[in-house]
Each structure stands twice: as structure tokens, then as C-alpha cells.
């Protein structure tokens, strides 16, 4: 399989009304994995359908491996694009066994050669013994892996994943996602995953493209979009966030949490973004810091979300702490934020300071 890069330039797509995608541009390097992350209705699936050739853009251009697939004049048919497509439900044929499903997309001459089915099943983490089972004899995770094997059977240069793990339970989702990523990397396929799951996007891809209202609000590495979001909206969408008013001077900012370090220099009135995992709690008197009273705790097993009120102000904070040894409601604790924070211009201020 030869990897092929993807280049999308000024893509606009609508369905007879307002544009669903509005002049969208994106590049995916050959062999790279990009997660398109956004809420329902933001245009994620429409982007995937345009890449696959299922919808015709009104403007813009799509190239794969340097070949123009659409540009207003050219429109390459879906079956000629060299793309594998895995839908949310897997879309396996119930009357065919696993072998029949995997070979279905191949030219008729190649369907007679079933020897590659076992290798494909092993590639996606399944036993070749499943080759004669029907879809209704498989678990949800097994069905999704068979759908991936079917997409890889034609050795596509690009694989599109349309929320393929969303219907699986938490444990099965994680194992299926890991098996899928391993198979795609082994084949060297360029991959675009559409998802509304922040954890999935950040852990699966080497590039995350955050889509809001039909446009990309930010494109970057998982660490970039999480730690240094372009806007408060991106920051809030990617995880629990506190936005606090402050006054910045270079690499420091003064706010209700004291003087904090900034990851990037800023000046004047700003909104300081603090993630719950940046808030460190300790016993009173252990270190310098502010005092807060624990209001409530949401226990999640490995960790817990602790809601606190600073005792000297009317400020509500949220801290993410290890589940074992978490404080109890009513406890007084010491609060510090030791790591660098991120600041937005004060014009970015939103109504709620605490987001959870």
C-alpha cells in the first residue's frame, strides 16, 4: 500500500440551503492520522462524504496523492478514488459470512481468492477462525473490525472512519480503537477519523482538526489544541475549563488564584484558562497557597472531580484529583496552580467562569 496525502482547499458544501461546510481547508500528510472533532451538526460527516465522493462540493478542491478529485470541473467517482470507508454501524451484509463481507468490495476475479481473509482478520486483531461466522454471531467490536478489514482489502491509500466506535461500550471501544490504529499504521494508510469524542480524538490521531459551525476553529497536534486552544470555545469543547479574569504582564498573570505563570507572554486584561488537572490540592499548612472549602465530589474511580469555593472570594473552582485519597465535602484544603496557564484577550470573556 502506498500512502497518499490529502489536501482540501476552500471546500464549500451545502444541501440547497446554508453552507454546511464553509471554505474549509485541511492537509493530512501521507500516512498521517487526523481526527476531525466537533459537536453534532458541525459538518464532520459532510466533510467525510465529500472526501469519499458521495456529495458534490459547490466550491473548492480536493486532492489525494497529488491527484485532483474535485475542483468544480473534475469529479472523480467514489469507486475510483482509492478510498476505504468505515461507517458508524459497520454496514456488514447480514446474509454474508465474514469472508463474503471482506471480499465483497473486491473485483470479481479477486473474490475467488479467499486466502488473504485470514491475514486481514489477524491484521485487525481477530482470529481467522471467525471467517465463516455471520455478522449476527459477532460482537459489536468484532463487527467493526470486520468492516475495517473489508475497507483494507482493496489496499486503499486513504481510509475514512465515520464515528466507528461510538456504539461500543467503554472497554470495547478502547480495545477496538487500539486494534484499528495498529492495523492502519501497519498498512501505512492515511486516515481521517470523524468523532465527537474528545478523548478518542486526542488519543487516536497525530493531528486534530476542531470543527465548529462548518469551519475549522483550530488544527494542530493533540497537545497544541488541548494546551493552547485558539479560542475559549475550542478550550471548552476539548475539556473541563475554568476561565478567570486576570491582568497579564509578560509571562505572569495576576488573578483570583494569585500570580500564575503563562505559557506565552501577554499584557493587559485577559481571561486565564485553567484546566481542573492543573489545580493541586493539599493539606492546609503544607505549602503556600489559597484556602478553599470542598463543596462536592464526583467520584469516577481512577480520579474524582472536586468542586471548591475559595474562602476569601466568591469563586467556584474545579479540581481533578486521584480518586484514592480524595478530600471529603466540607474539608478545607490548600490550593495552588504550579504549572503554566494560557490566556485569552479579555474580549474573549464568556458568561460562565467555571465550565464542567
Euclidean distance between CA atoms 95 and 90, whole angstroms: 14
CA gap 283, 292 in Å, rounded = 11
DSSP for 129-180?
A: GGGG--GGGS-HHHHHHHHHHHHHHT--SEEEEESTTTTS-HHHHHHHHHHH
Q: Phi and psi (nearest 5°) for 35?
A: -105, 125
Whether 201 contacts 317, CB under 8 Å: no
Structure confidence at residue 164 as a pLDDT band (50, 70, 90): confident
- Is the CB of residue 47 less than 8 Å from the CB of residue 211? yes
Structural class in CATH, domain 243-355: mainly beta
Arithmetic mean of pLDDT, 150-158: 88
DSSP type of residue 75: B
The domains of the chain are located at 6-233, 243-355
What is the 3-class SS of 229-258, one letter each residue? CCCHHHHHHHCCEEEEEEEEEEEEEEECCE
Distances (CA, A) of 188 to 2, 21, 346: 7, 28, 44
Q: How many CA atoms lie within 13 A of 8 on its CB side?
A: 23
Residue 13's φ and ψ, nearest 5 degrees, are -135, 135
pLDDT tier, 356 (very low <50, low <70, confident <90, very high otherwise): very low
Least confidently predicted of 30-39, 119-128, 250-259: 119-128
**Nine cell digits for residue 148:** 475495517
- Give 79-115 pLDDT, tens digit per residue: 899 899 998 877 889 999 999 898 887 776 665 555 6
pLDDT value at position 18?
86
- More confident call, 227 vs 172: 227
Is the pLDDT at 72 greater than 90, yes or no?
no
Q: What is the pLDDT of residues 207-232, one digit of tens each?
A: 999 999 999 999 999 999 999 999 99
> How many Cβ atoms sit within 10 Å of the Cβ of residue 116?
15
> According to the model, what pLDDT value does residue 15 have?
85
Q: In which residue are the cell numbers 474573549 written?
A: 348
> Is the CATH number of domain 6-233 3.40.50.300?
yes
Nearest to 158 by CA among 89, 41, 62, 25: 62
Largest Cα–Cα distance of the chain, in whole Å?
77
Distance between CA atoms of residues 276 and 335, nearest Å: 12
Between CA 70 and CA 93 the distance in angstroms is 30
pLDDT tens-place string over residues 119-129: 889 888 889 99
83-89-92-93 Cα dihedral, nearest 10 degrees: -120
Task: Decide if 69 contacts 242 (C-beta within 8 A).
Answer: no
Question: What is the pairing mode between strands 332-336 and 207-212?
Answer: unpaired
If DSSP codes are grouped into helix, strand and coil, which group holds residue 138? coil
User: pTM value?
Assistant: 0.89
Cell (9 digits) for 57: 462540493
Amino acid at each position: 500500500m502506498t500512502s497518499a496525502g490529502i489536501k482540501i482547499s476552500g471546500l464549500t458544501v451545502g444541501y440547497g440551503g446554508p453552507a454546511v461546510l464553509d471554505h474549509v481547508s485541511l492537509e493530512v500528510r501521507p500516512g498521517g492520522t487526523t481526527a476531525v472533532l466537533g459537536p453534532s451538526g458541525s459538518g464532520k460527516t459532510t466533510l467525510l462524504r465529500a472526501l469519499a465522493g458521495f456529495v458534490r462540493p459547490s466550491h473548492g478542491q480536493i486532492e489525494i496523492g497529488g491527484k485532483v478529485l474535485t475542483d468544480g470541473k473534475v469529479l472523480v467517482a467514489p469507486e475510483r478514488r482509492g478510498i476505504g470507508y468505515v461507517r458508524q454501524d459497520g454496514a456488514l451484509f447480514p446474509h454474508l459470512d465474514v469472508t463474503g463481507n471482506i471480499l465483497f468490495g473486491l473485483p470479481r476475479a479477486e473474490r475467488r481468492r479467499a486466502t488473504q481473509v485470514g491475514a486481514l482478520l489477524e491484521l485487525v486483531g481477530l482470529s481467522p477462525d471467525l471467517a465463516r461466522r455471520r455478522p449476527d454471531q459477532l460482537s459489536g467490536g468484532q463487527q467493526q473490525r470486520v468492516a475495517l478489514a473489508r475497507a483494507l482489502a482493496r489496499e486503499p491509500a486513504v481510509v475514512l472512519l465515520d464515528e466507528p466506535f461510538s456504539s461500543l461500550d467503554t472497554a470495547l471501544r478502547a480495545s477496538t480503537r487500539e486494534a484499528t490504529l495498529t492495523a492502519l499504521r501497519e498498512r501505512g494508510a492515511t486516515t481521517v477519523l470523524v468523532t465527537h469524542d474528545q478523548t478518542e480524538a486526542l488519543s487516536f490521531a497525530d493531528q486534530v482538526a476542531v470543527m465548529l459551525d462548518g469551519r475549522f476553529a483550530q488544527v494542530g497536534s493533540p497537545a497544541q489544541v488541548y494546551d493552547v486552544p485558539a479560542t475559549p470555545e475550542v478550550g471548552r469543547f476539548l475539556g473541563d475549563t475554568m476561565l478567570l479574569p486576570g491582568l497579564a504582564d509578560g509571562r505572569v498573570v495576576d488573578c483570583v488564584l494569585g500570580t500564575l505563570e503563562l505559557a506565552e507572554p501577554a499584557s493587559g486584561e485577559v481571561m486565564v484558562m485553567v484546566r481542573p488537572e492543573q489545580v493541586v490540592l493539599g493539606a492546609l499548612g503544607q505549602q503556600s497557597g489559597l484556602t478553599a472549602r470542598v463543596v462536592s465530589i464526583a467520584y469516577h474511580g481512577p480520579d474524582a472531580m472536586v468542586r471548591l469555593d475559595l474562602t476569601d472570594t466568591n469563586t467556584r473552582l474545579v479540581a481533578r484529583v486521584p480518586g484514592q485519597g480524595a478530600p471529603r465535602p466540607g474539608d478545607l484544603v490548600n490550593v495552588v496552580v504550579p504549572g503554566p496557564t494560557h490566556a485569552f484577550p479579555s474580549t474573549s470573556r464568556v458568561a460562565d467562569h467555571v465550565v464542567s
